[in-house]
Structure 1
Amino acid sequence: MEFKSIFFIGIIEENEMRSIFNLSEELFLLSNYKIIYKNKTHDVMGVTNGNIVFVIFDFIRDNIKKLNFSNFYFDIVIHSLSNSNDNLLCNDVFKSCKICILNSDDENWIQFIKGLDNPIVITYGFNSKSTLTISSHNINQQIEANLYLQREITPLSGERLEPFEFSLVALSNDKEHIYPILAASALNLLLGDGILSKKPYAIVKLKAISWE
C-alpha cells in the first residue's frame, strides 16, 4: 500500500459493549500513540504516532442501515461477523476498503469480501487457517492467552512480520471476549510499530473490554 498520512478505519461490532474499539484504544496507548480526538459517545476516535493519523469509527451492526455512508471511504475494515446475516449490506458500505480484518470462524466471512476490489484480508479465529489464532488460553478470573501469528503480514510501516507467538492478559472471564481481543490484536500488528510487534516480546496486560 502506498504511503499515506491518514487512514480511516471502520469497526463493525456485535453490540454496544464496543469491545474491539475499546481494546484497540488501549493497544494504541500502550504503543505510545496519542489520542487527538474522541467524541462523547465513545464511537469515534483519532490517534497518531506523530507521522500517521488513524481515524476510527465504531459501528453497531444493527444500526448500520440507519447511517448514510455516501462518498465516504474506509481504508481498513474490522468485522466481528459472528452469526452474521448482513454481509451484503456491509459489503456495500465498505466496498472500497483496502484491508479487511475478519473473523474466519464465521462461515459467512467469504461472502463479505465478494465484490470488493482485491483487498488484503487478515483473518482471526480459533481455526488453523486464520492469519492470527489463539494457540492456548486459560480463563479463570481473567483471560490468559497465547496468540499466534500463523502467516506473515506486511504492516503499514516497519518490516514484514514473520510468524511468531505472543501473550496477552485481559481482565475478563468471558470466553466470547477472545474474539475482540484477536481483532484488536490484528489491528495492532498491522500498524508495524504497535506494542505487540515490539521485541523483546512481553506479556501485554489489557483491561478495557467494555464501557461500564
Structure 2
Amino acid sequence: MEHHRRLRVAVIIASTRTGRFGPTVAGWLLERTARRPDLEADLVDLVEADLPATLADHDEEPPEAVRALAPRLAAADAFIVVTPEYNHGFPAPLKTAIDWYYEEWHAKPVAIVSYGRESGGRHAAAQLREIFGELHAVAIRGTVSLPCYWNDFTADGGWPKPAAECNTSVKTMLDQLAWWAHALRAARIASPYQA
C-alpha cells in the first residue's frame, strides 16, 4: 500500500536575486508534475523561507525559520533544485539552506534543473551532485539544463517554446526521479537509513 502513495516532491527555488528566473522555471515544473498522478509538489522558495545566513552551532536551538521548513523537507520523498549558475557556481543562499539541514536529505533522490548562459548551469549542477552525495542523498542522472534560456521565450512572452529541448528532458528527469523516490522510500520503510 505504501508504494502506491503519491510521492511528495519539494521543488526548491535556489535564487534569491532580484529579477530572478527561478520562479518561471518552478512554475513550469509545478505544471509538469501536476500532470502526473504519482507526484505531489511542494514549492519551497528560499526568498519566502528567509533562512538566516549565519548557521547556528550544533548545540544551539535552530531559528524559527529553520524549524518551520524542516518538516516540509523531512516529509519530501524527493527534491528538485532549480538553480542558476553564477560565476561557475550556485547561489550562496542555496548552500546555506542545504547546510541548515542534514537528516532531511538522507536516502532521498535529488534532481537538478539548472539555467544560465552557454553552460546552462552545468557547473553549478556538478557541484551540487558532490554536495548532495556528502549528505547521503542520491543526485539522479537525468537533469534539465537551460542554456541561454531567454532564447526559449515565445513571441507573446510565454516560456518555454513548445519545441524547446527542456520539454523532452523534463519527462526523463521526472521518470527517473519517481523511480528513485519509490525505491528509496521502500528501502527507508524496510530499514531506516543510518548515516
Relative to the length of structure 2, the TM-score reads 0.48
Report the structure, 1 or 2, having the larger strand content.
1
Q: Which has the higher helix share?
A: 2
Q: TM-score, normalised by structure 1?
A: 0.45
